[in-house]
Amino acid sequence: MGHLVLGPDALLRALRPGDADELALAANDREIWRNLRDGFPRPYTRADAERWISYNEQLALPLNFAIVLDQHVVGGVGLVPGHDVHRHSAEIGYWLARAVWGRGLATRAVGAMVRHGFDTLGFVRLHAGVFAWNPASARVLEKNEFVLEGTMRKWALKDGHYVDAWAYARVRD
């Protein structure tokens, strides 16, 4: 699997064993964890990063990518395929190191992942549940033509709170 180019300064690429330190450094942040599923470790140690990298090395499909800015791993973006009657769809997830928030990088990463998900992997529907305390993530999806389909009430138990989530999806034309 080649790189997905995001511009002159950034790309998406497969994780490599040498990424563990940068990955753990970028991911070990409560404000990132708070907006993701509990499967995302907290704290996020070097061992967690190594496990994630090894897991991805044996995946049959290229589902998860490192977000690389100026040659450094600063985040991740990935797809979780659905099963059974949902096998044409996938959940999209993404996160970035706090130091690089607010410069449009997640928007570019999600855009590239949408193209990958539709054109290379053949999914027809991509979706995300965004905790209702996370408007920045909703904005990233809206800038990528995801549509708000509704609000899922008390959708998650996160960080000790039952939290509503916005259901966003984009379908292939």
Ligand X SMILES: CC(C)(COP(=O)(O)OP(=O)(O)OC[C@H]1O[C@@H](n2cnc3c(N)ncnc32)[C@H](O)[C@@H]1OP(=O)(O)O)[C@@H](O)C(=O)NCCC(=O)NCCS
For the CB of residue 58, give the shortest distance to ligand X in the complex, in Å.
25
For the CB of residue 130, give the shortest distance to ligand X in the complex, in Å.
4
For the CB of residue 108, give the shortest distance to ligand X in the complex, in Å.
7
Q: List the one residue from 107, 133, 152, 164 that touches ligand X (CB under 6 A).
A: 107
Among the candidate windows 44-52, 58-66, 88-96, 147-155, which touches ligand X by CB under 6 A? 88-96
Give the count of residues interacting with ligand X (CB under 6 A): 21
Residues 48-87 interacting with ligand X (rule: CB under 6 A) = none
How far is C-alpha 53 from the chain's CA centre?
Answer: 15
Cβ distance to ligand X smaller for residue 65 or 95: 95
AA identity, residue 19: D
Cis-peptide, bond into residue 43, ω within 30° of zero: yes
Q: Is 7 in the site for ligand X (CB under 6 A)?
A: no
Among the candidate windows 28-36, 46-54, 55-63, 144-152, which touches ligand X by CB under 6 A? 28-36
Q: Which two tokens stand for residue 146?
A: 């995801």
For the CB of residue 112, give the shortest distance to ligand X in the complex, in Å.
12
